[in-house]
Amino acid sequence: MFKQIEQHMKFGGMKVKNEVPIEEINDFILSLPDEKRDSWAEVTQILEDKGMISMEGGNEYSTIDDELLDAQVEENRRI
């Protein structure tokens, strides 16, 4: 039996659990082409599709980083 770890993604607030050993996840990520590893969102979606992780909390959380909210609002005003 492997150790299941529950973590939260900083940006998006999703709860993530590994369904396979962490070493297997790391090896799989390293086997992906560079262009697939450029986006953490894409990597997590691939891992979920493969059943290697499970994610919870989709509609309960915001994708806005509260720590940077003021900066995001200011940047949007300039655009």
Q: Give the model confidence (pLDDT) of 31-56 as tens digits.
A: 999 998 888 888 989 999 999 999 87
Domain-embedded: residue 50: yes
Report the C-alpha gap between 47 and 21 in whole angstroms.
Answer: 12
Domain-embedded: residue 36: yes
Tell me which of 28 and 73 has the higher pLDDT.
28
Q: 72 lies in which domain range? A: 6-78
Tell me which of 16 and 2 has the higher pLDDT.
16
Judge whether 52 and 28 are in contact, CB under 8 Å: yes
pLDDT for the residue numbered 15 = 80
DSSP 58: T
Domain-embedded: residue 1: no
Mean pLDDT, range 52-71, rounded to an integer? 67
Instruction: Please list, in sequence order, all residues whose beta carbon lies within 8 angstroms of the beta carbon of residue 27, skipping any fewer than 6 positions away.
Output: none
CB-CB neighbours of 14 under 10 Å: 19
Domain-embedded: residue 57: yes
Q: Has residue 20 got a pLDDT over 90?
A: yes
Judge whether 63 and 26 are in contact, CB under 8 Å: no
